[in-house]
A and B are shown apart, each in its own frame.
Chain A
Amino acid sequence: MKSQNKEIFYGLYDDDEDLMKAVKAANKDHLEIYDVYTPFPVHGLDHIMHFSESRLHIAGFVFGAMGTLTAFLFMTWVFTRDWPIIFGGKPYWSVPAFIPITFELTVLFASIGMVVSYYIVNGMGFGVENPTLDDRITDDKFCIAFQTNGYSDDQINQLSNFFQSTGASETSSKVI
């Protein structure tokens, strides 16, 4: 997926409190943030960035339901149509015996399905290169990034002023 290169203008903060204040300030100035990078999850950040609720759990439910149906219908088919065997004098279609396996496949399908969905949606996985703006955002720096494709000099200046006024320790730009 090689689309248009993104011109990124970003600022680094030393502290998550400063970052939270800066994101709030950006919301107030109607600056459109491209993304925020932090070395650890910052509580409340997703809330003030107005992220909608993740739909990953819906995928989880669908995959889980698929697992339930796969296990239950497969065992039903095997033990009533394809190869009926009497176990311990029980009926062919003995539901209590199916439940543990149905449960296991539900968990298996839901978990693997959610991991795969997560990787695909986020463009992660084997052989995929994900550019990093700055190595330190995985260690001790908090970053706010703006996409500046087609921005005028005035708009860039506005972003620099924004970083300066909110206490960013450094700013830089990069094409990814």
Chain B
Amino acid sequence: MNQFTFEGSQKRLFLGMMVLGVICMASTFLFDDDALHTRFWTNFLHNSVYFTGIAFVLLFFYAASTLAYAGWFVNFKRVFEAYTQFLWVGLGLMLVIIAGMWMHAHHLYHWTDESLLDPNSPNYDVVVAGKSGFINKYWYTFGTILFVGTWAFCATKLRQLSVDEDNNPNPEYSQYVSFKKYAAFFMFFGAFTSAAMIWQWVMSIDVHWYSTMFAWYATASFLVAGLALVIATLIYLKSKGYYESVLPDHFHDLGKYIFGFSIFWTYLWFDQFMLIWYVNNGEETVYFQERFNNYSFLFYANIAINFVLPFLILMRNSVKRKAGIMMFAAIVLFFGHWLDFFQMIKPGAYITAQEALAHGAGHAGDAAHAAAEHGGIVMGFTIPGLLELGTFIGFLGLFLYLGFNQLAKASLEPKNDPYLGEALHHEVI
């Protein structure tokens, strides 16, 4: 079967997940939230960033592999193409955050407070003022629109060229040649702009703090999660009788990728921590102090789920070739990196909100002061509650619905890709 049909039962499942997500988001907004709706907005930002990032990094992986003359994955390249189309939706989701920022509907980012930049104001914050050339509403808005819009354009263009290759083959492989040009542009453009977007979307929540490794660390998280999703999708599609050409050897290589990039993620996670720990500079350690004191379970669970588990599970050769255990590892990692982003976003946003609620939206104290104020378990902030999980399931339903919808629009296996033969005869051991 080379043509995927998006069955009614799958549609109903994904729509049900979306409905659950909407119900959870609505009840977060209405019943279980503070006056600034911080829990709702942080959940929205968390999931929007997570799924947009996954779509971005899959496009990056696709472009990079093609540019590197990799042929092994082209028999299932449609899965990459289908998921990367989510970038348009991701742009829409981020526009909601942007609209909320301009309308003062949320208080996710401390730096949106204008009085921090006024030297005559009692709120004047020299650190935030110094960063205001980049960390400001205009950059956030136009950066997101321009950069994510360009990524989404590249995703659409690469998809069009790939499908056109099926329908209008020619001996010059003109679509493939053109594909490489767009892929090369995207590699260059995406590599720089993704870092800028992660600084704006995620790192600027802790606006006094910065880490030069943060963009890499977040991107590695996206990559592991994205490839885990691809593995889970392929195993599911194989169980439905599609993709007979996807062999254990393909899973072996994908497994090596998530194994390797889990180690890479750990390397960045640890280095970011160790350098800050060693230098012991107050304005840097505050980030980890907050996580040690109020997020200690998540902080250590993060390293256990995203490093220890994949390291031990995926180490052996034969494991990467078995569908059942790969599915387990993929689901664990997909959820694990969601937790990773949870503890990147929630602590800073919670402190900002507590400050704003305590002293009115105009005043700000130092983060350490706020950290000392709250303690214990705060559902939805220091630990994900059921509403967070429901929101996550809702976004996942949206992502999968759109992905499967795209998957049904073209043949599952490309027909005229120049590397198809290599992919069909892929052999690892």
Which residues of chain A have C-beta atoms less than 8 A from B270's C-beta? 96, 99
Cross-chain contact A96 with B280 (CB below 8 angstroms): no
Q: Is the CB of A88 within 8 A of B427?
A: no
Q: A150: CB under 8 A from chain B? A: no
A90 cross-chain contacts in B, Cβ below 8 A: 278
Q: In the complex, what residues of B have CB within 8 A of residue A131's CB?
A: none
B271-294 contact mask (Cβ, 8 Å, vs A): 1 or 0: 001100110100000000000000
B278→A97 contact, CB < 8 A: yes
For residue A97, give the distance in angstroms from its CB to the closest CB of chain B: 7
Q: How far is the CA of A57 from the CA of B278 in the complex (A)?
A: 35
- Considering only CB atoms, which chain B residue lies closest to A47 in the complex? B429
Q: In the complex, are the beta carbons of B273 and A96 less than 8 A apart?
A: yes
Q: Interface size of A by Cβ–Cβ distance < 8 Å?
A: 12
CB–CB A88/B278 < 8 A: yes
Query: Roughly how many angstroms separate A96 CA and B288 CA in the complex, as a whole number?
Result: 14
Chain A 80-104 near chain B by CB (<8 Å), digits 1 or 0: 0000000011100000110110000
Per-residue contact bits, chain A 38-75, to B (CB 8 Å; 1 contact, 0 not)? 00000110100000010001000000000000000000
Q: Which of B280, B427, B429 contacts A89 (CB 8 A)?
A: B280
| Docked CA distance A89–B429 (Å) | 51
Least CB distance, A100 to chain B, in whole angstroms: 8
- Residues in A neighbouring B429, C-beta threshold 8 A: 46
Q: Is B273 touching A44 in the complex (CB atoms < 8 A)? A: no
B277, A96: Cβ atoms closer than 8 Å? yes
Q: Are B427 and A43 in contact (CB under 8 A)?
A: yes
B427 touches which one: A44, A57, A99 (CB < 8 A)?
A: A44
Residue of A nearest to B315 (CB): A61
Instruction: Write out the residue numbers on chain B whose beta carbons fall within 8 Å of the beta carbon of A53.
Output: 317
Chain A residues near B427 (CB-CB < 8 A): 43-44
**B window 374-429: CB within 8 A of A:** 427, 429
Which residues of A in the span 100-114 have a Cβ within 8 Å of any Cβ on B?
100
State the CA gap A97–B275 with chains docked (Å): 9
Q: B residues 303-344 with Cβ under 8 Å of A?
A: 317
List A contacts of B278 (CB < 8 A): 88, 90, 96-97
The interface residues of chain B lying within 8 Å CB-to-CB of A44 are 427
Provide the residues of chain B in CB contact with A97, threshold 8 Å. Answer: 274, 278
Contact of A99 among B274, B280, B317 (CB under 8 A): B274
> Known contacts A43-B427, A44-B427; is A88 also within 8 Å of B274 by CB?
no
Smallest distance from the beta carbon of B300 to chain A beta carbons, Å? Answer: 13
Smallest CB–CB gap between B84 and chain A, Å? 32
Interface code A10-49, partner B: CB below 8 Å = 1, 0 otherwise?
0000000000000000000000000000000001101000
Bound-complex Cα distance A46 to B428 (A): 12
> In the complex, what distance in Å separates the CA atom of A44 from the CA atom of B426?
11
- B270 closest partner in A (C-beta): A99
A44 to B425, CA, bound (A): 12
A99 proximity list for chain B (CB < 8 A): 270, 274
B280→A88 contact, CB < 8 A: yes
Neighbouring A residues of B280 by C-beta, 8 Å: 88-89
Kindly list chain A residues whose C-beta atoms are within 8 Å of the C-beta of B317.
Answer: 53, 57
Chain A nearest CB, measured from B211 CB (Å): 16
A46–B280 Cα distance when bound, in Å, is: 54
Cβ contacts under 8 Å, A88 to chain B:
278, 280
- C-alpha spacing A43/B427, complex, angstroms: 7
Task: Give the docked Cα–Cα distance between A46 and B427 (Å).
Answer: 13
Chain B residue at minimal CB-CB distance from A87? B278
Minimum C-beta distance from A99 to chain B (A): 7
Cα(A100)–Cα(B267), bound, Å: 10
A96 to B278, CA, bound (A): 9
Tell me, rounded to whole Å, the shortest Cβ–Cβ distance linking B296 to chain A.
Answer: 16
Which of chain A's residues 137-162 have a Cβ closer than 8 Å to chain B? Answer: none
Nearest residue, chain A, Cβ from B275: A96
The chain B residue sitting closest to A89, CB to CB, is: B280
Q: How far is the CA of A153 from the CA of B283 in the complex (A)?
A: 86
Complex Cα distance, B273 from A23, in Å, reads 55
What is the CA–CA distance of A57 and B317 in the complex, to the nearest angstrom?
Answer: 10
Known: A96-B273, A96-B274. 15 other contacts (CB 8 A): A43-B427, A44-B427, A46-B429, A53-B317, A57-B317, A88-B278, A88-B280, A89-B280, A90-B278, A96-B277, A97-B274, A97-B278, A99-B270, A99-B274, A100-B274
6 residue pairs bridging A and B, Cβ less than 8 Å apart:
A88-B278, A88-B280, A96-B270, A96-B274, A96-B277, A99-B274
Top 4 nearest A-B pairs (CB, nearest first) are: A43-B427, A96-B274, A96-B277, A88-B280
